[in-house]
Structure 1
Amino acid sequence: MSQWLCLLGRVLLLTKVAASVNFFHHGYEELVQALFNVKGSCPYITRLYSIGRSVQGRHLYVLEFSDYPGIHEPTEPEFKYVANMHGNEVLGRELLLQLAEFLCEEYRHGNQRITELIHETRIHLLPSMNPDGYEVSAAQSQRALRDLTGRNNANGVDLNRNFPDLNTIMYYNEKNGGSNHHIPLPDNWRNQVEPETLAVIQWMKSYNFVLSANLHGGAVVANYPYDKAHEQRIRGIWHATNSPTPDDELFKKLAKGYSYAHGWMHRGTNCGDFFPDGITNGASWYSLSKGMQDFNYLFTNCFEITLELSCNKFPAQEDLEFEWLANREALIAYIEQVHQGIKGMVTDENNNKVAGAVISVAGVGHDITSGEHGDYFRLLLPGTYTVTASSDGYQPQTQTVTVGPAGPTVVHFQLKQTTVNNHPIRKASDKGPANKGLHKKVVPRAAQWEILR
């Protein structure tokens, strides 16, 4: 009972101030105008930027919300929503436009919950990853045809089957002792991806995203990694098999965080299928390769789930307001889940940031790394953990950490340089404040390390 009273209180907090919104399907020009309108209404907490262009030259616009837009504040997490990856799955596109206007209006009216969310989180909204496909679908006069056309981009490629296949490498590594995190991209990856996919990958590399969701349609369920099954075919027959990540329980919690805040997703029934709690492991539903969800987990620090939000891929315009009300609380509650686990700074003895430090959690076989500002974010369930920070040229540091149910636990690491003959050593490529004023002893160019005095 207390859980439902808490949820009711949070919903009432959101409805205390009602934002004025218009519910209609936005074509590309209307979408761009809507984003600029929000930017104009809330100029001090928003930034509108493009991460690239589609095949047909349409901008992939992202609207950012932050109390310092355009600036990463150390230990403040980066969050993203991506929608309309399949051009004919359009509800997410409209929900993110509604969300953008809602965040702006609620902030202007002093909604405490929304104000705290924007002050403590850097939120990035990409309403349409596939604007070309949307235009193809929207141009169909018959509703049934809208559901059937425009899925792919202008080159006829399914963007959710277009990311580098890191799952195959990861499953190979599992058998041979290799890594299952921050897997390097294949040498020729740029020649294998579409302009939209390339733009999103470069976006992921530019921001240290912590949590994300990818908004789709055609079902109503929160789907979590892995999407690609380990073993797919038995005696020539393809089978759906559960393929959990090392963070399986955490992903279930993230998915339930959306499902249970949704108007009716958690009831478990939708579109003829049954999903207990409104969630499913991707591969146990059906296996797919080269998807964006798994790519986030295997290449970056970001934990992403896929949200299937409507039985109708292109809902009728008169249904948009109902869908917004069903998803509004869930969209906000999911962003709030980025504030859990542990976070902090990794520095050296002189308080210089250490970027790329590996954060390992004993018993969880998936590591994350500190960002370029030296800060890190490790999503974890409540509990007690043994956490180690390590970086080449430094002595590892291990701490025992207790994570509570409310908010992240702040844990800083200060690493000491490794020494040889009482001299600190660091990689030859290391640059930055830690090297200032230090005289480098001349050593052969082939040497892996430089000895610093």
Structure 2
Amino acid sequence: MKKLPKLFLISLRKIFKSSKFILILLPVLICIVFLQDLKASEFEEIYARVWVSSIQEKGKLLAERGLDVDAAGPDWVDVVIDSQRLDDLLSKGYDVEVVFRSSQERNQALFGKDWDLQFHSYSDMVAEMEQAASDHPDILILDTLGYSVQGKMILGAKVSDNPDSEENEPEFRIIGCHHGNEFMSVEIPLLMLEYLTDNYGSDPQVDHLVNDLETWIIPMMNPDGRTYGTRYNANGVDLNRDYGYIWNFYSPGIFSQPETKVIREHGMKNNFSISLSFHTSGDVVNHVWNYRDYPVADSAFVVDISEEYGSYNSYWVVEGYQWYQTFGDCNDWSYGSRGDIDATIETDNFDIPNVWSLNKDAILAMMERTDDGIRGTVTDRITGEHLEAMVTCMELGQPVFTDPEVGDYQKNLLEGTYTLKFSANGYQDTVISGVAVKGRGGATALNVELESGSEFYATHVISCYFYDPFSYPNNYQNNPTNASATLGLPDSTFASLGKGGHIELDMGENTPIVNFPGDDFTIYEVGPTPDGYNVYYSELPYGGTWYSLGTGYGTTSFDISSLSTDTIRYLKIEDDNDGSATELYPGCDIDAVTHPREPVSVPGDVNADYLVNLSDVIYLANHLIKSGPPPTPFEAGDVNCDCEVNLGDVIYLANYLLKSGTPPVPIQECECEYRF
């Protein structure tokens, strides 16, 4: 127990003399002083090594639900456990060697009694970042992205030549300290922040990176864990198992902790191209996937930049799964849900100058690679408004997203020729082929304008879990699909959820499912054979209640008129747990979720395609002369507002389009009763 400060004791004596109730208050005051320390001791952290004699035994161990794996080798797995899990592993016959009985024992053994003084504390980190922002206000702003369990700030520093503005530039991110006892993971981000700010104006490479990129540095995302020198946050949760992509009960829930919510919300506001998450201990470049042994869609680029990073320091470059399997980690969520190529960099946890020397140039190289490929903006063809859009390289499949504020995108690609599809909610897809990429040294510019369309669709994967019946090292051998296949309009590309698996989708902040007459949305289930599934909705993306909406089989449409809400933003689809878990493409196969655009009245839009052009003239003439389909709605055909739909409207609309005549009159301005 810490000693009470001398001045604090003197103050207590003065209070004691002046108040007869101090005997009641004193225990309360002492509890307040030590509350933080008591909180840290609530959770056991036993560091142990489990020796395994075969790949089968290793696979069996990794399949233990909720087991917190720290590292692995050919014949061993390092785990962080409590006494109950230790007894459980021993009872199952595992060869378990306890290395440290607590985080404090570990820290003192590795770093000595003054372990906390060898690295930046939370207060040191705050002071250093505030000083950097004060010294370099022209290229750095400091933002409190959110707060930890115990209310400590999670600080992010944005480094750019116009840090107060969101610009049309590639974005790069560095995160440190998912695990509070991985002290070096704080030091490297802070040193990079110092390097960029101190060398701006004198180093041409730094000038380029600051002027042409937006870089976010988040040195300490787990300040509570760092304060106590523990792996976990103040709730005893491993934050790097709390993300939503292939989450599998390794934390209390999907994005259950305030710290991971902060990273998700920040990631949703920024379209990061490349990210680095620093960890210890080991000399490793760990790239996606971590949950399965299957090349990611962008494997060529991912492996290329990972090997380049390793070329600077001889770190081992490995797909995460091939090292050891994890679920619900930051890398897989960043890539699987956001298209951000995020790698874990494992460094030594000692000798700051040496680790910095090994990683500085490698980090700078990754920043340089952020602009490789194709980049541009996506806008509305008519208004020029920047759109929140999805960009998919058709040869690869995994989408990236535009910045929600500026509308710019960055698709990292190696040299070659590609076909890109551009999609935005309520707009028609646009496909552009023959786009040449020169490789390194700058991106090919491609700005795209989209035409309005008639349907909305799911825009983001919040979370997912695809059930898998196999064990390490053969997980997901029958399911090569990706969750992002559920986004966008139907295209026959699907995500197989696995038997009993599920996916949670965001229909968009401004484009929720809306209750209209008739069916309100459709789930396209398009696999080899029709499958059944359950559908739920919620008011929150995570942490809320999921209410049943009904069941589907194959492609099914749903009407929400009987619900207590008129709009739905968050949707959950869960396989009905029927069928074989080992078949190819197991479980239901979800291609898309769409719903009609809210009916709007566009003057002159006779055929309801949200455009006004000669097709409307032809459509109306065909209705009047050849008994073709009527205008939608019928009154949309009365473009001259004379309370009749006749050939005069055809002539009026043609004159407007071809000779810049008087524009069509909005329906709401015509107070007419029409005869159908």
Query: Structure 2-normalised TM-score?
Result: 0.49
Unaligned runs of 5+ in 2: 1-116, 458-514, 521-595, 604-676
| 2:175 paired residue number | 82
The match for 2:342 is: 304
Residue number in structure 2 paired with 1:409: 444
Partner SS state of residue 71, structure 1? coil
Aligned mates of 1:84, 1:65 — CA distance in 2: 20
Alpha-carbon distance in 2 for matches of 1:189, 1:346: 35
Structure 2 residue matching 1:156: 3-state secondary structure: coil
AA matched with 1:363? E
Corresponding residue of 1:248: 299
Q: Deviations over 1:332-355 (max 9, x none)?
A: 111111110100111232352352
CA shift for structure 1 position 287: 0.3
Q: 1:117 to 1:189 in 2, by over 3 A?
A: same
Q: Offset at 1:444?
A: 6.5
Partner of 2:413: 380
Q: Does 1:206 align with 2:269?
A: yes
Q: Counterparts in 2 of 1:288-303, with a 5 A limit?
A: 288-303=326-341
Q: Distance in 1 between matches of 2:423 and 2:157?
A: 35
Any idea what SS the aligned residue of 2:283 has? strand
The reply to whether residue 284 of structure 1 matches residue 322 of structure 2 is: yes
The 5 A counterparts of 1:41-440 are 41-74=135-168, 76-108=169-201, 110-137=202-229, 150-166=230-246, 193-229=256-292, 242-262=293-313, 264-265=314-315, 278-310=316-348, 313=349, 315=350, 319-350=351-382, 352-372=384-404, 373-391=406-424, 392-405=426-439, 406-418=441-453
Alpha carbons of 1:40 and 1:402: their partners in 2 closer, same or farther (altered >3 Å)? same
> With structure 1 as the length reference, what TM-score do the two structures score?
0.72
Instruction: Give the 3-state SS of the residue equivalent to 1:380 in structure 2.
Output: coil
The structure-2 alpha-carbon separation of the partners of 1:426 and 1:284, relative to structure 1 and needing over 3 Å to count, comes to closer
Contact in 1 for aligned 2:246/2:291 (Cα 8 Å): no
In structure 2, relative to structure 1, the CA distance for the partners of 1:219 and 1:426 (3 Å cut) is same
Q: How has the CA–CA distance of structure 1 residues 376 and 351 changed in structure 2, closer, same or farther, with 3 Å as cutoff?
A: farther
Deviation at 1:201, TM superposition (A): 1.2
Contact 1:351 1:414 in 2 (8 A): no
Tell me the alpha carbon deviations over residues 113-143 of structure 1, each in whole angstroms, 9 at most, x when there is no partner. Answer: 1011100001110001111111222xxxxxx
Partner of 1:33: 127
Distance 1:54 1:73 in 2: 29
Q: Which has the higher contact order (CA 8 A, sep 6+)?
A: 1
CA gap of 1:32–1:426, structure 2 versus 1, over 3 A, is same
Deviation of the 1:213 alpha carbon: 0.8
Deviation by residue 1:424-447 (Cα, 9 ceiling, x = unmatched): x5769xxxxxxxxxxxxxx96668
Pair 390,199 (structure 1): closer, same or farther in 2 beyond 3 Å: closer
CA distance in 1, matches of 2:336, 2:124: 35
- The Cα offsets for residues 220-242 of structure 1, whole Å up to 9 and x where unpaired, read as 1111111012xxxxxxxxxxxx2
The AA in structure 1 aligned to 2:330 is M
CA distance in structure 2 between the partners assigned to 1:395 and 1:219 by the alignment: 45
Distance 2:163 2:386 in 1: 24
Larger Rg: 2
Q: Report if aligned partners of 1:79, 1:123 keep a CA contact under 8 Å in 2.
A: yes
Q: Percent identity?
A: 27
Distance (whole Å) between structure 1 residues aligned to residue 421 and residue 245 of structure 2: 29
Give the superposition deviation at 1:63: 1.1
SS state of the match for residue 345, structure 2?
Answer: strand
1:355-399 CA-partner distances (Å, limit 9, x unpaired): 233322122121223232222111111111111223333252323
Q: 1:395 to 1:339 in 2, by over 3 A?
A: closer
8 Å CA contact 2:419, 2:431 repeated in 1: no
Residues 130 and 336 from structure 1, CA distance in 2 versus in 1: closer, same or farther, beyond 3 angstroms? same
Query: For the Cα contact (< 8 Å) 1:83–1:96, is it kept in 2?
Result: yes
CA drift of 1:408 comes to: 0.9
SS of the equivalent of 1:399 reads strand
Q: Which consecutive aligned stretches of 4+ in structure 1 deviate over 6 angstroms post-superposition?
A: 443-447
CA contact 1:167–1:294 (8 Å) conserved in 2? no
Structure 1 position 261, deviation (Å): 2.6
Kept after mapping to 2: 8 A contact 1:257/1:337: no
CA distance in 2, matches of 1:364, 1:196: 32
Q: Deviations over 1:68-89 (max 9, x none)?
A: 1132112x01211001111111
Q: How many residues align?
A: 347
1:158-192 Cα distance to aligned partner (Å, 9 max, x none):
11111124378xxxxxxxxxxxxxxxxxxx966x5
